[in-house]
Amino acid sequence: MMPVLQRELIRKRNWISMDEVMDYYAVAQITPGIIAVNVATFVGFKRNGIIGGITATIGLVLPGIILMTIISVFFRQFAEIEIVRHAFTGIRVVVCALIFDTIIKLQKSVIQNYKSVIIVICVFVLSAVFSLSPVLIITGSAIAGFIFFRPVSGYGFAAKEKNKTESGNVSKSSNEKENSNEKENSNENESSNETENNNENMNNNETESGK
């Protein structure tokens, strides 16, 4: 499903970004229903509000219902045919290849530092080894993301120290500006006084020469 979402929504139509696809996909993992239907609802809502969400959901579900109804009528007749079984084997291999290709593309934008690597390893172990529920995994990952990637401002002792430092820097810069303005004003006053003195001297000299 992820390669299809990436191709149709990002490359062809440019409706959403890769980050939005990842967000929708993560939420769809823990909400009831099929992932593709949930993502379609999110995308439709973003494009055209409630009407867009309903239309996108119906547009995705209705063709699948019709197709699966037709296939179910003839599936028992064709499921035991050797060619059909080999075809499904090839399809499974292709699905694995597409998923692996998507993982390679996603890791470039998702895995940014060692913290992301730690979360990926923990999630893989919890899912592959302990078969933990996706709901718990995504919830725990959200908490870990909040702890690891939250902005520093507004939380804890480090934030207070940072705010103190920033306020100190602001006060220093404001004091420097005030000092520079005072120096400029004093220089302007001195230059104006010198100009006045020069004018007075010139006037005195003209008066003496006139006498």
pLDDT score of 71? 79
Low-confidence residues in the chain, pLDDT < 50? 154-161, 170
In whole numbers, what is the pLDDT of the chain averaged over residues? 75
| Residue type for position 61 | V
Provide the pLDDT for residue 50: 92
| 4/6 Cα distance (integer angstroms) | 5
For residues 110 and 145, the answer to whether their CB atoms sit within 8 Å is: no
User: What CA–CA distance (Å, rounded) separates 89 from 91?
Assistant: 5
Distance CA 41, CA 24 (A): 10
Give pLDDT tens digits for 21-53.
788 877 877 777 777 888 888 889 988 999 999
